[in-house]
Each structure stands twice: as structure tokens, then as C-alpha cells.
Structure 1
């Protein structure tokens, strides 16, 4: 699919597309309202697995954006959805915060340190050497290794912070086992999002600010892809990749006025 007028459902990244450092980006509130008024199915996606959808909905509200919690799809929710399909009623040892533990509980999973089916590593600001050691030993004993998202670092006002991917690399080095990563750029996260809103790839678009996660995953999932230049990737960045988005826009404000031709 290459034309925006064929799009009936939308997936959109959050940071760099709708918000930047807790401030709404131009056009974000209007676009969300446009979708709500038209009854357009949409989901706001994030690789952040720290917060629950309810937490993120409240945080977005303080930025001036009204996004109901049922319109938010996190890597934690995608991970819980994946594990529920793989092994209903299973068990997991979890390194992470409320986002992933709540999602797994709601998916019917038991949290345990005794012979779990899976070791799940998500985002946290309180990584424990003891917990990492336990994860390594459980994986060595046969637990399957799952990671919510591959991001090696996360942003902070003081500079980069080690994130899920960095901790996963430590565990991989110690165990020799590579994890299965559910979040972007794995198209699995998009497929679970599509299932949640009953959408099909043929008529769904993905808006993102990163070529290496949002756009490549959108292409691999068969979606119409829109890169906005309000986040990580710029026009020079596009040239570094062998694939290209269907559209490149200055920001989501260009989606509010109505269809425009692709700039590519």
C-alpha cells in the first residue's frame, strides 16, 4: 500500500512523534482529536515497558494529550500477549517495573523464582545484581529468555541511561543465550497491535521518528510508513538505509489538514 487515502487505521509512536520531553508536539492533540471524532481505530505504541497504559495515559494528559489507556500499546503488553499465546497460564521470573509485571499478571501468568517457564527482562531504573544473577542461573537451568525491547540506552536530562538491551547483553554474555525480543523493530509488536484494534496491514499506517525501529518494522509488517522529522531521524539519516518510508513529513501537523502527496 502506498497511498494515504487508503489508510483506515493508524499506529503511531509516542516519543518524538506526539511528545518530546513531556511536551506535546505541534499537531499532536489535533490529530488525536481528528481520529477520535472520525471513529478511526488507532493505537499509540511505545517500547517503554516501565509504565502501565494507565500510567502513560495520565502522563500524556499532563502534556495536553488525551489518549485513553485502551489506545496505548506498550512493549510490556505486547510481551504479555505473546507469552499468553505461547504458553497460557505459564510462569516467569521478571526483571522490570509495574508495566511488565501488571501485564503478565493480567495475562494469567505467575511470577516465580522457582523453575519459571520464562525469564522476562524489561525496563527498570533499579537493576539489581542479585536479580540479574538469578536470571542468568534460571536461564542456564532451562528457562526461556524473553526481552520486552532491544533499546540499549534511554534518555535522561543528564545523558544516556543503560536500558533493557544493555542488561540483556550482559545476560547473553553470561549464558550464551540470545533472547527473543518482542518490541520494535520486531514486527510482532505491530501484529499484536493490529489484532488489538481488529485492523489489517493492507489499510493501516505507522507513524514513527526512527528509521531503525518504527519504519523498518512497519515495512516488514506490510504497513504504510510515515517518518516525521520531529524526533531521532532526519533527512540525512534516511539516505543511510536501503529502505525508505512511504512518506516523510515535517511533523504530525501535516496529517491534520488532510492527505498530501508523498515527498519521496
Structure 2
């Protein structure tokens, strides 16, 4: 069951937190804005380093990037406590032995793909990995949709259309690029899958990282459609919160 508590119901949130053995937390829009941790979230992570896993649809960063951000805030998590949709999408592509892989994403993530041993190509791909691509162009779209019409498999990091930016605006996300592809090809006739939330994969990895079962955890996230719905499907309790409204994190800290 998912609990969508407004911050005003602090006692309900506190009682739920007291029953939890661990936490799964979203990143963009929940703990951070523009990869800058909000103070209340930083305090919460610092106080719960051993029993928290970050489970994020982020597809522009690696765990090492997150570890650096966290270290600057005096937070120490193990690498396996950081579960990112972009990295998991690239790992999914390694299941296709000998495939030519097109990565629609930032150069930083294409570098990560090369380190995994993926054979990258810019056209005629067997597999396409769709990440948040801030250099997305008409030409990239054309190459991708033509590969798909020839039978390529599409791996989507996440279905999010946007996430909140540090300046208060919206940042287009992977789902917005997926919409462009969907406008060109019939996805019902295409081989494709989504790795990130609300699919169960990231949640299960978070459970494994903490060695806890779903019923022992509470998910904190800002997106009802991905964070809360995905948690609910696995029997993980969830609290809706936002980096712009730190009351939930403050209530959780008081409940310790």
C-alpha cells in the first residue's frame, strides 16, 4: 500500500518511519535539484547512511558521480547503494551478445557504455539505449527510428517526461525523447522495454543493496506515477515528498 501523506500529517509520517528498517529515496526533485542536495535531504541521508539506497531514474550520471556529490556533503554510501536507471539500461544492453548498440545519451554515458564493452554505433544498430540526451537532434532521431523499423531492440532508461530544475523550471527527460520516437514508429510492433521506475528492477536492486525485503522499506519520492506506483506494486510503503518542501525529511529526522 502506498501512503501519500501531505507534510501536515507529520505524526502519520513519523509513525510510518518508526516501523521502517530502511529507506529507498529518489534523487531528482526529491533529494536534489540540478544535482545539488537540498539541506534537509542531506541531513536525512547523513543520518541514515547505512540503511538508505538511492533509487533514481537519473540517466546522465554514474554512481561515481553521485559518490562525489555525496562525499562533498559528508555522506558515505557504498556504490551498490546507488541504483541509477541509465546505468542499468546500459547493463541491459550487455545481454545482447555481439550487438551493435546506439546510445542516445550524453558523451559521459557513452563513455560508460564503452567501459562496459558495448560495441557502439551511430546507425544500423541492433540495440538502441535511450537515455536523457541533451544533444538530441533530428539526425539522431532519424537514425534511431530507421534502426527500429529494421528490427532493433529499444531499451528505455525511464518514462519520465520532465524533472524539476534548480532554477524552478522543467528539464525535459527521457520520456520526452521517447514521445518523439513514438510519433515515428509503432512501439506496439517494436521490441522494447523500460528499465527505470515504475518497473520493478530498480526497486529490487535497492532491496538487495540493503538486504531488506520490500515490506521492511519505505520509498521517498516526488513522482506518484513512478516512485509511488512502482513501490506499491512491490508492497513497499511510500511517502510523497519534494525537494522544494523539506518538511517530510525534517519529520523523518525527528522520528528517529
Change (3 A) 1:252 1:89: farther
Tell me, yes or no, if structure 1 residue 170 matches structure 2 residue 210.
no
Shift of 1:119: 0.8
Residue 74 of structure 1: CA displacement?
1.4
CA-CA distance at 1:158 after TM superposition: 8.0
Decide which moves more: 111-120 or 70-79: 111-120
- SS of 1:150 mapped into structure 2: coil
> Cα distance, 1:142 vs. partner?
0.8
Aligned residues: 238
State the partner residue of 1:93: 102
**Is 1:133 aligned with 2:139?**
no
- CA distance change for structure 1 residues 197 and 109 in 2, over 3 Å: closer, same or farther? farther
Partner of 1:212: 225
Q: How does 1:225-264 map to 2 (within 5 A)?
A: 225-231=238-244, 250-258=247-255
**In the TM superposition, what whole-angstrom CA distance separates every residue of 1:120-157 from its partner, at most 9, and x where no partner exists?**
11112111222211111111111111211112234443
- Between the two structures, name the one with larger relative contact order (CA 8 Å, sep ≥ 6): 2
Deviation at 1:54, TM superposition (A): 1.9
In the alignment, the residues of structure 1 paired with residue 45 and residue 61 of structure 2 have an alpha-carbon distance, to the nearest angstrom, of: 21
CA distance in structure 1 between the aligned counterparts of 2:163 and 2:18, rounded to whole angstroms: 35
Shift of residue 182, structure 1, vs aligned partner:
1.6
Conserved? CA contact 1:139–1:145, under 8 Å: yes
Query: What 5-or-longer segments of structure 2 have no aligned partner?
Result: 3-15
The aligned counterpart of 1:192 is 205
Alpha-carbon spacing, 1:99–1:213, altered in 2? closer, same or farther (3 Å): farther
Taking the aligned partners of 1:81 and 1:91, their CA distance within structure 2 comes to 14
Question: 3-state DSSP class of the match of 1:175?
Answer: coil
Unaligned runs of 5+ in 1: 233-248, 260-264
Q: What's the offset of the Cα at 1:181?
A: 1.9
